[in-house]
């Protein structure tokens, strides 16, 4: 049995008054206390508005876990849109040993493959004021990452050494898990095609972020999980903790 802890959308710099971002209702930075007998932490993006700060948190959490698995969220790209290669090259440094940037380095343990991408979105409802240039860029990245994920899933489906596949994305993978008012910047509708196809029999779990609404449900035989903290001024989750699941 493989035990994993799951966190997402912590927005640490919004909860910590050392960072001057917004007026806050609370000063309550998240403190992580691992679930007993759990070696793996999954982080599905939006740790902070700064990739450097996010990486510092990952290194700190690595002291508490044997492995930390990470996909970057939208907020990690606040300063610029980093490529997968740029983040991967940074995380090849020895200080990140045991920390996996899953879009560039899939993780395999106990015949379980944990794979993923950030995922972005494809402007499902097209109701944003984003510039045409930005929309083109985001839609292109969403398509590239979908194709990478689909092709990797096909390979793993035919790999006799893999019994189970877990997908991590920051993007919301189904319309049913998206907030209608935010769907244009949450849902990558291409990912729903993977779930709806029914082809990937080894795919048992999909862990995601980018919505601050919690989810834990079965859709098309796949367990969809989102365990976000969110912002102080939306759900105000002062008392937040990781979600632990067992992959049997």
pTM exceeds cut of 0.85: yes
Question: Three-state SS for 243?
Answer: strand
pLDDT tens profile 170-183: 999 999 999 888 88
Q: What percentage of residues in the chain have a pLDDT greater than 70? A: 96
Alpha helices per DSSP H over 158-198: 189-197
A 10 A CB-CB count for 36 gives 7
- Indicate the average pLDDT of the chain: 93
Express each pLDDT in 102-118 by its tens digit.
Answer: 999 999 999 999 999 99
- What span, in angstroms and rounded, lies between the C-alpha atoms of 184 and 101? 25
CA atoms within 13 A on the CB side of 244: 13
């Amino acid at each position: 049995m493989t035990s994993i802890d799951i966190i997402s959308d912590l927005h640490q710099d919004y909860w910590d008054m050392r960072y001057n971002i917004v007026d806050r209702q609370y000063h309550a930075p998240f403190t992580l206390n691992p679930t007993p007998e759990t070696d793996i932490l999954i982080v599905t993006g939006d740790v902070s508005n700064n990739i450097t700060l996010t990486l510092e948190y990952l290194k700190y959490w690595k002291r508490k876990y044997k492995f930390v698995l990470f996909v970057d969220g939208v907020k990690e790209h606040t300063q610029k849109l980093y490529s997968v290669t740029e983040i991967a090259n940074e995380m090849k440094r020895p200080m990140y040993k045991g920390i996996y940037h899953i879009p560039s380095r899939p993780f395999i343990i106990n015949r379980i493959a944990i794979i993923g991408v950030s995922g972005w979105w494809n402007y499902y409802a097209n109701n944003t004021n984003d510039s045409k240039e930005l929309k083109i860029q985001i839609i292109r990245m969403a398509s590239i990452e979908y194709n990478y994920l689909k092709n990797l899933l096909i390979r793993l489906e035919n790999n006799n050494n893999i019994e189970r596949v877990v997908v991590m994305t920051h993007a919301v993978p189904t319309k049913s898990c998206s907030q209608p008012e935010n769907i244009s910047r949450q849902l990558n509708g291409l990912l729903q095609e993977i779930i709806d196809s029914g082809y990937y029999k080894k795919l048992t779990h999909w862990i995601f972020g980018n919505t601050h609404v919690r989810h834990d449900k079965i859709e098309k035989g796949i367990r969809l999980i989102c365990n976000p903290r969110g912002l102080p001024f939306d759900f105000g989750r002062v008392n937040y903790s990781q979600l632990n699941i067992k992959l049997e």
